[in-house]
Amino acid sequence: MNVLRKIPFLTIAASLISIIISIAMWRTPDCNFPCQYSFGSGDIEFIYGGGYWKIFTASFVHADILHLVSNLIFLWFFGKRVEMDFGRGTWLILYFISEFVARLGNGALVGLSTVGISGFMFAMFGYLLVADWQKNLWRTLVSRKVYIFFIVFIGMTIIPPPPFLGLPEGDVAHEAHITGFVEGLLLGNFMFRRRSLVGRLV
């Protein structure tokens, strides 16, 4: 029973679902954009048509292999940490709130819903920054190497890659990243302050 508690089931499940759905979509002829749309990409108007579930299913669809792999790497590091250190309940709260906020935030700012689980990824980053806070931002970032790698990754999504690398520039949903990150910071601040207050009262 103790062994099962050490397995990040939610993180593994989210990764596997993302892999299966994305690969199935890529391998289906003429399905890329139509399938993305059916899962929640495109015009945010689908929400007003009753497709609320697409807010969450869109997170498991990825545009290409680079998009999928980069998201899965940080989903594993951040998701496993949140799930194992703070509980599956915290993981689920972060997932549902961040995907809702990131998807609608991006829709409100640019009128489009995007695919990918990066809104959740950025929310976990914000939440963990609050959890690991060490007097200032620099100390907090260097306290865990994965944070530095993540900052580099963010920079790569903002700065277009050099032409000689042959990498696609792509459309990056910075609005979803920012809203997810801010939501993670706020939720982390609220939850840790609440725990601190309860600890003092007890």
User: Residues 6 or more apart from 83 whose CB is under 8 A from it?
Assistant: 8, 9, 10, 11, 90, 91
Supply the pLDDT for residue 22. 86
Higher pLDDT, 100 or 76: 76
Report the predicted TM-score, pTM, of the whole model to 2 decimal places: 0.81
**Which amino acid is located at 103 in the chain?**
R
- According to DSSP, residue 168 is labeled -
Q: At what angle do helices 174-201 and 145-158 cross, to 10 degrees?
A: 150
Q: Hey, how many other C-beta atoms are within 10 angstroms of the C-beta on 153?
A: 16
Question: Which pLDDT tens digit goes with each residue over 88-134?
Answer: 999 999 999 988 887 777 666 666 667 788 889 999 999 999 998 87
Q: How many CB atoms lie within 10 A of CB 195?
A: 10
Which segment of 81-85, 155-159, 179-183, 193-197 scores lowest on mean pLDDT? 193-197
Cβ neighbour number for residue 143 with a 10 Å cutoff? 13
* Gap between the Cα atoms of 106 and 180, Å rounded: 10
DSSP symbols for 98-162: HHHHHHHHHHHHHSEE--SSHHHHHHHHHHHHHHT-BSBHHHHHHTSHHHHHHHHHHHHHHSPPP
| Percent of residues, the chain, with pLDDT higher than 90 | 28
The reported pLDDT for the residue numbered 37 is 63
pLDDT of amino acid 28:
78
pLDDT tens track for 172-191: 667 778 888 888 999 998 88
Q: Whole-number mean pLDDT of the chain?
A: 78
Question: Which pLDDT does position 127 carry in this prediction?
Answer: 94
Of 50-54, 70-74, 130-134, give the lowest mean pLDDT range.
50-54
pLDDT higher than threshold 50 for residue 193: yes
Q: Which residues does 109 contact at the CB level (< 8 Å), separation at least 6? A: 175
